[in-house]
Structure 1
Amino acid sequence: MKLAYVIAPGRGKTNELLAGVADALGERGLRLAGTVQLDTERAEEFHCDMDVLVLPDGPKIRISQYLGANARGCKLNPEALEMAVAATETQITKGADLLIVNKFGKQEAEGRGFRHAVGEALSRDIPAIIGVAGTTVDAFLDYVGDAEELPPEPDALLSWALEATGQTK
């Protein structure tokens, strides 16, 4: 099982890291499945809009719902997340060299979200890189059993992905 995860400190840093790595791997011709998150800041508000780009070519799906400028609750739209999961699972069945999932978060820790897609990719011997929230790392490791933690550096993720997929640098 070729499975790696990354935790990048700082708001949105894992998203930026994985999006850049996905771009670089796509340019090398790897067939990608999964999602990268593209956040759009809202002027004068704490929350951002959360969109995911389903790899390799879309669609782009808004997975957040606007709850108001002062809202502090969870803004995830679970139905939109499941649309992204379904599109990812379709891509996995078409064939992929690598799965990238932007976040193993609360939904996945509770058995929903991308949890099944990760399992499906691994059952097909598709290597995977998963962004993990620091608060859900224990649930992630309980689910997968074993995974390699990568430093939050583009070169480390690129090297791992190229080796895991049998590509050369």
Structure 2
Amino acid sequence: MVHGLYHFAGFVPRSVVRSLIDSGRHTFLGMHWKDLTVMFTDVKGFTTVSETTPPNLLVQALQMYFDVLTTGIVESKGTIDKYIGDGLMAFWNSPEPVENHQQRAVECAIRIQRAIRENRLWTTRIGLHTDRVLVGTMGCQARVSYTTL
């Protein structure tokens, strides 16, 4: 059981896994309004890169790329929402409150850009937005995702 929960925490934020265990429920659905800072990223020119790179090398490069992004986001107390092809979506201030989440997200974006340059990875575009959004678990009883709307 513990081994399975450890792996499950790789797919959703650990605090969501803890809430699920503490509640005794198998799945839970529900969203609430909260001020968040949301980040979207993508690789400039990725279509051309994907058409001209052998699949095994493309996957290796994407894994290195996402390692850099994920490390920066997690270190700044952000939550990875999802990986979307060559991009990702992340947010700050949920499921755990993050003081100065706007500033943390901006500083994270700057650190990511520096790390991308240092590692000679692809040119990355990053968008940030802060607003009041719905956040929580969305889906159905068979499959849920911790996300924002």
What's the TM-score, normalizing by structure 2?
0.26
Higher strand proportion (structure 1 or 2): 2
Rg (Cα) greater in structure: 2
TM-score using structure 1 length: 0.24
Structure possessing the higher relative contact order (Cα contacts under 8 Å, 6 or more residues apart) = 2
